[in-house]
Amino acid sequence: MKPKIIDRFVIFVRPLFRRGRGSLVAGITIVAAFYMMCIFADFLAPYDYREVSLGEPLAPPARIRFRDEEGRWRTRPFIHPQRLADPLERRYEENLQRSYSLEFFTSGYRYKIFGLTTDRHLFGVGKGDDGKTARVHLLGTDVLGRDRLSRLLLASRFSLLVGPLSTLIACVIGILIGCTAGYGRGRIDAVLMRIADTMMAFPTLVLILAARAAFPLELPPWRAATLLITIFVALGWAEMARLTRGLVMELRERDFVLAAISLGLSPARVLWRHILPNARRPLTVNALLMLPTFLLAEMALSFFGVGVQEPEASWGNILTAASEITLLERGHALILVAPAFAIMLFMIGVRLLSNGLDRDQFQDQFKDKEIATFHRPQLAPRE
Amino acid sequence: MSKLIFELILTRIAQGILVLLILSILIFGLLGAAGGDAVSALTDSSHTSEEIARELRRIYGLDQPFAVRYARWISDLLRGHLGYSISYQAPVGAILRPRLINTAVLAALAMAIAWVTALTLGTLAAPRAGTWIDQLCSLTVIVASSTPRLVLALLTLAFITHIPFENTRLGWFFQLMLPTFVLSVPLMAILLAQMRGRVREIYDEEFVRAARAKGFSERIILIRHVLRPSLNPLITISGYALGGLISGSVIVERVFGWPGIGHLSVTAVQSRDVPLLMGIVLVTATTVLAGNLLADIFLRLNDPRLR
């Protein structure tokens, strides 16, 4: 007989590999990979993301080489150090005489992970032929000479915290309000839903900007994060409330709920034990669809310079820093493409995940029926 | 039928006025409660003395309590004035008008692109489940719906810096089409997904089978029997999407330097120009409400079952 814990694991994992679950598995993998990246960001980043190095502003991405000038293969990949040839134009030249080989598990700045303090980093460059040290910037540096790759890795922490956390809180509040409206019905329902409609009908970004305008621009990162989360929650609960209300109204007429009510269970218990478990799937899917909106709002605010302030990093201000026109004209497309690709990949992951869950849910109900990809709450009001 | 639509319009207008009133109080209160106004933005940046700041506040009535300022604003509004922008030194209405037209052009073109793409690809893909065009459709939906407008706009910008199109004869065309395209992409994804799903659903309906049994050609069936009922979700979504389009235009206009409402709203926020910001919120909110109403009217015109 198999031990129980493995049994549970199998029950949880096996459905993922049934036919047609490709998008669910792909989605979970991508999203999980991003969160692993957040946890191990310090380890993956070669340098401190705030460390200014004025000697190398706006350096282009380093070229990793495998063969030296004479065309011989080296045992280790290496880079040539970059020298600021023209400080005014910020043009760089590679110093072909010197080379530094790429090394793994090098020592760098100290950081804490799982309560341990360590200085190991995934990669870096060792000492060169002449005993001097150099820095390797796979995505180049920004105006202040900070390593773009390290900034991108650490930025995902802020962005992937604010977006999902505000989605979560907005969902909890939305579900509570939706339950109250859907279960209470009558006047309380009318009042709550009118407010929700007001919130839903408006251009969110303009409202977020207006709300943000009410607070001072310069805020420490934790205050900024709290403020952004509060604004997003205040504007985002309505959609969830609308969907929950519709589901609760539908479910509370079902026989098993009526039976539970007639047994004398309290409304809270009926909702928690009988109604919400049956509304789990559409609620999860909708929550996953809300997530990108908040991620985008955070990015947009930082892009306009009213979100997170430097030197803290978020995907928004990384994108802004990467879209400087001089860099683009010089053809360092990689600098812009890297953060853009990271953002898109995460979005695609979330989308695949919600698609997978959605499809699953519909397949449970009607076999082989084509599903609507976008699950929107009561889009067509039928009066 | 027309009586019902008339009733709908009246109730919506009444509700809309109430909603706008609540929203204006909310935004006005929020901006007032947080402290900081257009004058404090002025003192932040330059060396304006305390006396001058106080004098300016007196002139613009910023030293009055919240209720008085709001009452003044709303009574001005009832007389048809949107107030006076402090940072632009001009009436808000005069600032808004040309920018509103610019944004309207952008949004209308974006909407048109989204509709045309959704209709063609959706009707092509729906009856051909599993073929390459269907899969292309799925791919378009996934990629387009997960590409943020900001990212797409910046990538487009990076792309066009390498093409010196400004001096060519088609320069104006690119200048208009690039922001429009970026604005339309996420909307296109939603419309396309809905269209494909709906058309496929409707092909299974009894009335389509009846039409087939009568011997109509597939083309006639598509145009006369399938297309019209499948437009319903598209109409509804387009109504709701106006808000999203205006949000999107904030980003697109900022990146491409298009002088519209979105561009203006960022400026208004940065200079904490309350009258201007209130004007923008009011205008955009009215547009969205009007869009929802229009969508509902079109829905009833298109689908007799809803009347």
What is the model's pLDDT at position B108? 92
Model pLDDT, residue A377: 36
pTM for this entry: 0.78
Q: At what angle do helices B261-270 and A204-213 cross, to 10 degrees?
A: 20
Query: Of A194, A206, A371, which has the smallest distance from its Cβ to B284's Cβ?
Result: A206
Tens of pLDDT, residues B229-266: 888 888 888 887 887 788 888 889 888 888 888 888 88
Backbone Cα Rg of chain B: 24
* Among candidates A200, A336, A344 on the partner chain, residue whose Cβ is nearest the Cβ of B158: A336
Averaged over successive runs of 10 residues, the pLDDT of chain A (383 residues) comes to 63 60 85 91 84 79 79 79 77 78 81 82 74 76 83 87 90 92 84 78 70 69 81 84 86 87 88 85 81 81 76 81 68 76 88 76 42 35 29
Distance, CA of B182 to CA of B147 (rounded, Å): 10
Distance from CA of B193 to the nearest CA of A (A): 6
Summarised one tens digit per residue, pLDDT across range B193-227 is 888 888 888 888 888 889 889 988 888 888 888 88
Phi and psi at residue B48, in whole multiples of 5°? -80, 135
Rounded to the nearest angstrom, the minimum Cα separation between A78 and chain B is 29
Sheet holding A100-113, edge to edge: A65-67, A73-79, A100-113, A116-125
CB < 8 Å to A379, chain B: 233, 236-237, 240
- B22 shares contact with chain A (CB less than 8 Å): yes
Answer whether B148 sits within 8 Å of A352, measured CB to CB: no
Is B131's Cβ below 8 Å from some Cβ in A?
no
Put simply, the chain B residues between 207 and 226 with a CB less than 8 A from any chain A CB are none
| A349 touches A34 (CB < 8 A) | yes
- Flag if A214 and B30 touch (Cβ within 8 Å): yes
- Measure A216 CA to nearest chain B CA, in Å: 8
Give the distance from residue A379's alpha carbon to the nearest chain B alpha carbon, in angstroms.
7
Q: Which residues of chain A make contact with B237, given a CB cutoff of 8 A?
A: 376, 379
Name the residue in chain A with its Cα closest to that of B235: A380
Q: Residues of A with CB below 8 A from B129's CB?
A: 370
ipTM of the complex: 0.72
Decide: helix, strand or coil at residue A107: strand
Q: Is B79 on the interface with A (CB under 8 A)?
A: no
A1-40 b/e (C-beta count within 10 Å ≥ 16 → b): eeeeeeeeeeeeeeeeeeeebebbebbbebbeebeebbee
Quote the minimal CA–CA distance from B47 to chain A in Å. Answer: 19
Distance of CA A320 to CAs A43, A91, A179, B153, B206, Å?
A: 25, 21, 41, 12, 54
> Residues in chain B with pLDDT < 70?
1, 32-48, 162-169, 306-307
Of B183, B194, B221, B179, the residue nearest B118 (C-alpha): B194
Residue A328: CA atoms inside 13 Å, Cβ hemisphere, count?
Answer: 19
